[in-house]
Amino acid sequence: MKKYQRHILFFAGTIIAFIMVACASIGRPEGGPRDEMPPVFIKSNPTQGQTNVKSNKIEIFFDENLKVDDASNKVVISPVQKAMPSIIANGKKVSVELRDTLIPNTTYTIDFSDAIRDLNEGNPVDGFALDFSTGDSIDSLRISGMLFEARNLEPAQGMIVGVYSNLADSAISTLPLERISKTNQLGQFTIRGLKPGYYRIFALNDKNRDYHWDRSEDVAFYDVALSPSVEPIEVMDTLRASDGKDSLVSRQGVKFLPNNVLLTWFNEGYAAQYLKDYKRPERNRITFDFATKADTLPQITIINGKKAGLDIDEWALLNAGETLDTLEYWINDSVILAQDSILVAARYLRTDTNENLSWTTDTLKLFYKEPKKKKKKDKDEETDSIPEVKFLNWTLQAANPQDVNKPLRFLSSQPLAFIDNNGIKLSIKRDTIWESLPSPRILPDTSGYILKYTIPYEWQAGEKYKLEIDSASLIGIYNECNKPYKQEFSVRPIEDYVNLYFNVSGTELPIIVELLDGSDKVVATAPVIEGKASFNFLLPGKYFARAFIDNNNNGEYDTGKLLDKQQPEEVYYYPKIINAKKNWDIEQSWNIYEQPLDLQKPLQIKKNKPAQKKSGKNEQNQEEEEDEYDEFDDEYYTNPNRQNNSSGSSINRSGLRRNNGY
């Protein structure tokens, strides 16, 4: 009977638990549409545009529970604050407490960017800002625009953009910005609360939060001073009647100008110069590592031993790239090579306390100690008495199959002192027989690295070759010679390649076109000659392209210099992907000004994309996820009125070529 009662109690308890769970489920229904709407602003204290504000505490109310995301980085306040304000979300309210003393007769702007979000779904209130004044009137003028990275046109997200009414060149490096904003996900910005007058505008990646430029920081500047203004416009609104029909009504509004300022940020690449390290890792090598690149070699003189007073060029060979920040010297003087300790006087450029380069001289000791040899057993002593023969290592670095338009590339274990071209033989395979060809020449690589060598040759596409180098045809600076060398390789057939041509228009200035891969990395470059940039012998694949105006005609991209008022060289993207198929010739027309700059870079290689909207759906696979993202991205990027109340007018590139769409 007791057992039967226990079963009844268990069954009853199960039913009660089931009912409780069912009741709980009623309170949280599943499967409804996800909330994608941002919180709606209700009111604030002080109110928007209020004057004669005395309190440093601000309260802002919305229609749902909130959170403030990364307030210390996203929220900016003008005038800039020395003490970090307190910004807290509690329920449906955001509270801000300014810890700096309020400045009389001043307009304050609290720009939240997208920091305010609803608590559950994280939907942002994009571009929300509150203005109020401590005086009798409020300054309401604005300057809006967009900020991109100069080199690759990536939208600058979360960078500070600000203005000075002080038009002196020194303001940006000595004074804090007067009024500031931060760029949103698209690189858009709006600087609010401006008085009538002229302003210089700058953008900063202000890492140390001092609100002015330090030489190592990213920066952008506009070429001319700007004067903000307003223009009356007619705005059309859509009203929905009780019967569900829509009607258009007009009202008077204002447009804040300028609203199309384009800034492109760059970094001058400044770093303090000093000697980081020096050593003698092997008896025949010494190295010097400097903190940053240089355009001047140090003056190094040996000051001990029999060869004291000799410049390093007389007893060593330099191995270095173009940047000259890492220098490797191969000692080729036997007397100095035998010295365990080398003392040198090194005279080089170093950054002084005024951030200028000045010459300094250090005495450096370069010491080398032979490693101890391992003890051998008696039976190995006879073997140890036979000196080990060392050979020069010679390694092919070229790919197989070999590209028809590229030389063979080799890496040597030491610089070469002698090349016997009679010992270098090249053959081509005709049917089954190797036919001798004129001997090629081994040349130093043009990169400046003295261990790299090339064999240039006019290869025949699709053919097979054999390279043979007789022993002792290559002798290094330490009298080590090569072993017999033989390498067979094939050259790609011509049908494996693609030829791509761009007919570039829009300017008569010199242009360099860069071909890019799917990671936005340069794979080939070509100058525009008589309106055409040619890329031959490309492998099939998906390519992108960008061009830059080569102002100084040096064939290289040059960044800007703020103090010299030099803008970085202008960059443009071909707005489409190029699907290059095997054995095709492709010709594309490209007017670099045809599309607005913010719409030029293809989304497939754009890194700074807006955060994806949450759909609340389970995606079938990654491809569907990316397709949904791209659809949203297209809509987001092609809306010129988002955030900045833009009229849709074209963007100005730092005051240049305004009539050409920028």
pLDDT in tens, 612-638: 655 444 444 444 434 333 333 333 333
Phi and psi based region of residue 210 (left: phi greater than 0; alpha: psi -120 to 50; beta: remaining): alpha
Q: Classify 394-495 by CATH class.
A: mainly beta
Look at residue 160 and tell me whether its pLDDT is greater than 60: yes
**Residue 322 is encoded by which pair of tokens?**
């173009």
For the sheet containing 326-331, what is the strand order? 275-282, 285-290, 326-331, 316-319
Look at residue 318 and tell me whether its pLDDT is greater than 60: yes
Backbone angles phi, psi at 10, to 5 degrees: -65, -45
Report the share of the chain in percent with pLDDT over 70.
Answer: 85
pLDDT recorded at residue 458: 94
Look at residue 418 and tell me whether its pLDDT is greater than 90: yes
- Poorest-pLDDT segment among 302-306, 438-442, 475-479, 641-645: 641-645
Contact 333, 305 (CB under 8 A): no
- Selected residue with higher pLDDT from 13 and 110: 110
pLDDT recorded at residue 405: 93
Is this structure's pTM higher than 0.95? no
CATH number of the structural domain 497-627 = 2.60.40.10
DSSP states along 489-554: EEB--GGG-EEEEEEEES-SS-EEEEEE-TTS-EEEEEE-BTTEEEEEEEPSEEEEEEEEE-TT-S
Question: In CATH, which of 2.60.40.1220, 3.40.30.10, 3.30.420.40, 2.40.30.40 is domain 41-265?
Answer: 2.60.40.1220
Look at residue 259 and tell me whether its pLDDT is greater than 80: yes
pLDDT recorded at residue 377: 58
Report the share of the chain in percent with pLDDT over 90.
Answer: 74
Fold assignment, 275-367: Immunoglobulin-like (2.60.40)
For the segment 457-462, the average pLDDT, to the nearest whole number, is 95
pLDDT recorded at residue 238: 76
Distance CA 617, CA 32 (A): 11
pLDDT in tens, 231-248: 999 888 777 777 777 778
Q: What contacts 489, CB < 8 A, 6 or more positions away?
A: 398, 400, 401, 402, 464, 465, 466, 467
Distance CA 198, CA 166 (A): 9
Q: Is 333 helix (H, G, I), strand (E, B) or coil?
A: coil
Distance CA 549, CA 514 (A): 11
- Poorest-pLDDT segment among 375-389, 541-555, 612-626: 612-626
For the segment 391-400, the average pLDDT, to the nearest whole number, is 89
- Selected residue with higher pLDDT from 185 and 644: 185
Task: For residue 194, count CB atoms less than 10 angstroms from its CB and return exposed for 0-12, middle for 13-18, buried for 19 or more.
Answer: buried
Phi and psi based region of residue 269 (left: phi greater than 0; alpha: psi -120 to 50; beta: remaining): left
**Which of 50, 58, 76, 49 has its CA nearest to residue 179?**
76
Phi and psi based region of residue 295 (left: phi greater than 0; alpha: psi -120 to 50; beta: remaining): alpha
pLDDT in tens, 565-594: 999 999 999 999 999 999 999 999 999 999
pLDDT in tens, 18-57: 334 344 433 444 555 677 889 999 999 999 999 999 999 9
Contact 426, 459 (CB under 8 A): no
pLDDT, averaged across the chain: 86
- Selected residue with higher pLDDT from 31 and 200: 200
pLDDT recorded at residue 376: 60
pLDDT recorded at residue 30: 52
pLDDT in tens, 511-546: 999 999 999 999 999 999 999 999 999 999 999 999
pLDDT in tens, 419-432: 999 999 999 999 99
- Poorest-pLDDT segment among 51-55, 319-323, 497-501: 319-323
Q: How far is CA 535 from CA 271, 399, 501, 589, 604, in A?
A: 36, 20, 6, 14, 22
pLDDT in tens, 336-364: 999 999 999 999 999 998 889 999 999 99
Look at residue 504 and tell me whether its pLDDT is greater than 50: yes
